[in-house]
Amino acid sequence: MLPVYSVRDVPGRTVGARPVRYDASETRKVAGVESVMGLPISIMPAKFAPLGGIAVIASNTYAAIKGRDALKIEWADSPHSKFNTEAYKAEMSATAKKPGKVLRQEGDVDGAFSAATKTFAQEYYQPHMAHATMEPPAAVANVANGKAEIWAPVQSPYGARKDIAAALHMNEADVRVNVTLLGGGFGRKSKCDFAIEAALLSQKIGAPVKVQWTREDDIRHGFYHTTSVERIEAALDAGGKVTGWRHNSVAPSILSTFAPDSGHQFFIETGMGHVDMPFEIANVRCENGKAMAHTRVGWFRSVSNIPRGFAVQSFASELAHELGRDEKEVLLELIGSDRKLNPKSQGFPDDFWDYGETYDEYPIDTARLKNVLNLAADKAGWGKSLPTGEGMGLAVHRSFVTYVATAVRVKIVDGKIRAPEIHLAVDCGFAANPERIRSQMEGAGVMGMTLALYGGLTFKNGAVAESNFHDYQMVRSDNFPETVHTHIVKHPFSVHASGVGEPGVPPIAPAIANAIFNATGKRLRDLPFGDTIET
């Protein structure tokens, strides 16, 4: 077998950039290097096709990597060479302040704001995020005698088989995909670009090959969680009741990976914590501002629920502080009476997406939403006195037709943000495997804290600045959710089971932000926060 290393990790390389010229003379001097060849360059939209570039064929992975490092490549500019994180953030923020494409319209929003005694508005930001799976992508392919066999950690083997067959110009029946252990998936390994890469190279050289990405490849050249600015405005009457709600979500769409980019998100994304906002407010408008994609956007655990959950639940906490009221009381009041939302009468779009389920079977049930909020708060001891430097925060969110609330206690130790205790209450209908549910919630606590403190990529001139775990950090053994309590709402078999793999993540970051505010008086609206705060 000939290990292969495809060149991605090159300073200044941007999506769609083509090599103007390259010099492989030093590469060919590396012991073990067999040959150097080009792969077609992909530009957006290209679904899950490899980025392409220059491949180094060697007798072992170490030699392939050393040969790659010795390559001298000059890359041309691409349409995304000017993409810079800070400038793009400012652009999204400016867009969020303007009217966007109206997705949900209920009542007379303009009238509510005109008649308001007071208005209140805030913006929340989330940068692009990398999946940073425990094991970087790798694949083995053998294309011979009109057949192709692949070994790879892919989350969607049938989709991978279809895409590999198309890339090789073969019938699907002639392609076999063997799924290995994922080593972490999180949505990254639903994209099979690395497996297609191995298959194309095996077909080209007529021998089995192994493609191995490094951690630097994975962080700098993957498919990323989208970036967003979420602007929320509330109109309040003389009694402090919210009479109007506007939410403009500005984020590049994953649809840009599959089709020409319109700059607007599509119905699957807008149904994730945006148009399905469950508060009992008479006048609601949900908008989507235009934002063009400048990197490859892909599915990420919990997807657009992360920025929406962060924004809505942070805003509810801020509103409570503005009104001088208890955070839980205000959140329960916003959710309102026990009811099942009626999408038609409440202005939802005709193509409202309920996670692929039938809405009649999985309605948005505010009683279940309030129940998990109360459960998490009660189990955590909401309202109890905490020592100086400690605070508790709440958040609740429905995603993947499951209801999850969290109460997070944070403790500031020498300026470092710690989370000694998290309570997660989950209502996923009939709980077929409680142990698996607890495992998923515990993992969500760890991932959610990672996203809150560290999860952010920085693009400079179209390229990702971060490269490995020293500058794209994870929570570690010295600072992670020390104790995660999972409280499962019990239901009989007659209550439909629902998702548990993703719904635990969205409420974690806002609950941490709310807890930090309650501990320090400092409000954090931009993800990630960093792991320290001045007190």
The per-residue DSSP string of 440-463 comes to: HHHHHHHHHHHHHHT----EETTE
Please identify, in words, the CATH class of the domain defined by 85-130+224-520.
alpha beta
The closest alpha carbon to 187, from 224, 135, 227, 226, belongs to: 224
Tokens at 460, concatenated: 């400079």
Residues of the chain with CATH 3.90.1170.50: 1-79
Strand partners, 347: none
Would you place residue 513 in the very low, low, confident or very high pLDDT band (cuts 50, 70, 90)? very high
pLDDT exceeds cutoff 80 at 332: yes
Q: Is residue 37's pLDDT more than 80?
A: yes
Note the pLDDT tens digit of each residue in 128-171: 999 999 999 999 999 999 999 999 999 999 999 999 999 999 99
Output the pTM of the full model.
Answer: 0.97
Q: Is the dihedral of CA 195, 198, 203, 207 positive or negative?
A: negative
Q: Which residues contact 310 (CB under 8 A, 6 or more apart)?
A: 124, 126, 230, 506, 509, 510, 513, 527
| 362-403 pLDDT, tens digit each | 999 999 999 999 999 999 999 999 999 999 999 999 999 999
| CATH 3.30.365.10 segments of the chain | 85-130+224-520
pLDDT band at 534 (very low <50, low <70, confident <90, very high): confident
Flag whether pLDDT at 526 surpasses 80: yes
pLDDT at 282 over 60: yes
Q: What tokens does 408 get? A: 């997070």
The confidence band for 6, taking pLDDT boundaries of 50, 70 and 90, is low
CATH architecture of 1-79: Alpha-Beta Complex (3.90)
pLDDT given at position 267: 98
